[in-house]
Each structure stands twice: as structure tokens, then as C-alpha cells.
Homo-oligomer: A and B are copies of this chain.
Amino acid sequence: MTSSPAPDVVRSAYAQLAVTDLDASRRFWADLLGFHVQYEDAGVLCLRGTDELTHHSLVLRQGGMAALDHLSYRVRTPEDVDRAERFFAGLGCPVRRVPRGQGTPGVGDAVRVVDPLGFPVEFFHDIDHAERLIQRFDLHRGAQIARLDHFNICTPDIPNAYAHYESLGFGCSETIEGDEHELYAAWMYRKQTVHDVAFTGGAGPRLHHVGVATHESHQVLRIADVLGALNEQHHIERGPGRHGVSNAFYLYLRDPDGHRVEIYTSDYYTGDPDHETYRWSVHDDRRRDFWGNAVIESWYKEASPVLDLDGNPQPVSDALLDESAVRVGADGLG
């Protein structure tokens, strides 16, 4: 274990995805979903939601395979970038400094690591500001995505993931637990929402999904309607529905490469210092869908591979516990 202090993480900041056809991805994320294109060149696309005041919350880069390039968290001060470097070095993780201009456009000095869970993760403080579009309603379109909400990652050992993020100062809003309190899933946060990151038990490291927020539920319904109108309903994997966990109204889509995005609205405030973890039983069939609708099997089984710091795919390990094997209500997939 490390004795080096953890960086002060502000929030989940952006995900960088490798995609195999940048034009097709641009159409999906910008034209259909309504992300604002902040920057683009031949190989990369920086996108943000209408409420976001920093350069991007989603980066798509042309790559040889569809994968997660890296997750990125913003930290409170420039010194926290150094703290992150020492923290992960102390854990024996691969660590690499990425000076402004050598990494993702708009982002200042950063450190990238392969974390103990096997995920490529970046920490940065400095990022370009961007024009305020909050009230440019004339430019809002598609699902009218307001902002990135969270990352959801597949990892085989949930207690291990929990302990790692706890050591990074994350609180835990909700869990799914078995009869002996064995942990099937957890939702953890730094900003004052239900989560910045959540863990879905399963073979990993893999990226389960990126969660993005809209203001109201009708905006979630609209993107489903638009996809049906275009006869592209194959992008819809699951939902719309209400999550038991987080209470959010959700819709899961798959992008042209199969990367999963959750359109998500209406969670709750978690900023009080004594905010308590809410624990769901794995036997409560409302945990994944509050209305008891069955979870789609692909939602439990499929996820995006992740890359190491050199852009090579990380090996995947099987899950220790399999939530999808718990036969309960409409949810059992056994």
C-alpha cells in the first residue's frame, strides 16, 4: 500500500473513446444525441454538453479498434496532479506525465496511469474554458445533453474497486449487496450527485458505459423517438426505465462501435458530510429497474475493452460474483 496522500478529485471530467469510424461517431454523438462539437481535426473530436463550461466531456479519437482510451478526472489544484502521480506510483502502477499539448486538446498538464483495477485513468487540473451555451436554447438539439454525469466500469472484484475509490476520497451513495453483504455493485461520488463512477460486476477491466445527463425526462424520450424515426432503433439497447439505484430515469444506447451511453436524468443531492449509503438487496428486482422490467442480457454481458498507456488492449479477467445469475423477478437471466 501507498502512504502518499490521494489527489483531491473534483469530478469525473471526460471519457476518451477510440472509435473505428470518426464520421459515423460524429453523426451519432453530435448530430443525433446533440453534443456540441468544441474541437475537431482529422483524428479527434472534442464534445461537450450544453451546460458544460470546460472544453469537453467526451473525446472520440480515430483508432484501430473500439476501446476506452482513458477516463479522466479533474482535480482541485495543479498540485493535485503531482499528488496523483505520487499516489499511483506508490501503488506500483504505470504512470506517465502528459504535458499540455501532448495529450488531449484543451487539457493542460496531466498524469495518466493504469490504475490498480487495470483502467487507463487521467488526472488533470487545467482545462480550457468554453463559451457558455446554457441558454443558447437555439443550439440545443437531439437529446439536449446537458453534461457528463458518470462512468460505469466492469470490474471482476467489486470490493477491490470500492476500496480503491474509497482511498481516492470517493463517498458511496448506493450498493447492491447479497445476503452476506457481499458487494455486487457500488455507486461512488465526489461531486454532489449519486455518482462519478460506478462498478458493475463482470469480466474486466472493461467500460460498461458513459452516463450523460439531461434536465428532464421528455428529452430522454425524444432521442428514442428520433432513432425510431430514422429506422435506427438498433442503437436502443435498454429502456427507457427508472433505475431503482440512483432513482434516475434512463435510456441505454449503443454507438456505431458498440460503446454504450446512458441518457440519464433526475438523481439526487449527496453533498452532506454524513450522507449515508443506501443498500439494495440483490434479490429486489427493482434495483436495476424500478418498474420490474427485465434487464436485457447484452446489458449485463457486453462492454468496451480498455487500452493501456501505449494503446494496447488490457487483458480481461472474469468476475468473481455474477449479479446476472441471481434469479429474481423479471431480472433473472440465468
Interface residues in chain A, defined as those with a beta carbon under 8 Å from any beta carbon in chain B: 10-11, 51, 53-54, 74, 76-77, 125, 129, 132, 134-139, 141, 146-147, 191-192, 215-218, 221-222, 224-231, 233-234, 236, 240, 242, 244, 247, 249, 266, 268-269, 271-276, 278, 285-286, 290-293
- Residue in contact with A273 in the complex, picked from B10, B146, B290, CB distance below 8 Å: B10
Chain B residues within 8 Å of A244, by CB: 135, 228
Leading 5 A-B pairs by shortest Cβ distance: A233-B292, A137-B225, A228-B290, A137-B229, A138-B229
- Residue in contact with A224 in the complex, picked from B51, B139, B242, CB distance below 8 Å: B242
- Residue in contact with A135 in the complex, picked from B221, B271, B285, B290, CB distance below 8 Å: B290
**A–B complex contacts, Cβ < 8 Å, 19 sampled:** A10-B272, A51-B268, A74-B272, A135-B225, A137-B225, A138-B229, A138-B230, A147-B269, A191-B271, A192-B192, A215-B216, A216-B217, A216-B266, A218-B218, A224-B290, A224-B291, A228-B244, A233-B286, A236-B292
Chain B residues within 8 Å of A276, by CB: 53, 129
**Contact A268/B134 with A218-B218, A233-B291, A234-B292 known, Cβ cut-off 8 Å:** yes
A147–B272 CA distance with the chains assembled, in angstroms: 13
CB of A30 to closest CB in B, whole Å:
14
A244–B134 CA distance with the chains assembled, in angstroms: 10
Is B236 a contact of A291 with CB atoms below 8 Å? yes
A267–B128 CA distance with the chains assembled, in angstroms: 22
Chain B residues within 8 Å of A229, by CB: 135-139
Residue in B closest to A11 when the chains form the complex, CB atoms: B271
Q: A228-B290, A236-B291 are in contact. List 13 more A-B contacts (CB 8 A).
A: A76-B273, A129-B276, A137-B226, A138-B229, A146-B268, A191-B269, A192-B192, A215-B216, A216-B216, A221-B249, A228-B242, A228-B244, A228-B286
CB of A229 to closest CB in B, whole Å:
4
- Residue in contact with A285 in the complex, picked from B139, B233, B290, B293, CB distance below 8 Å: B233
Is A266 a contact of B135 with CB atoms below 8 Å? no
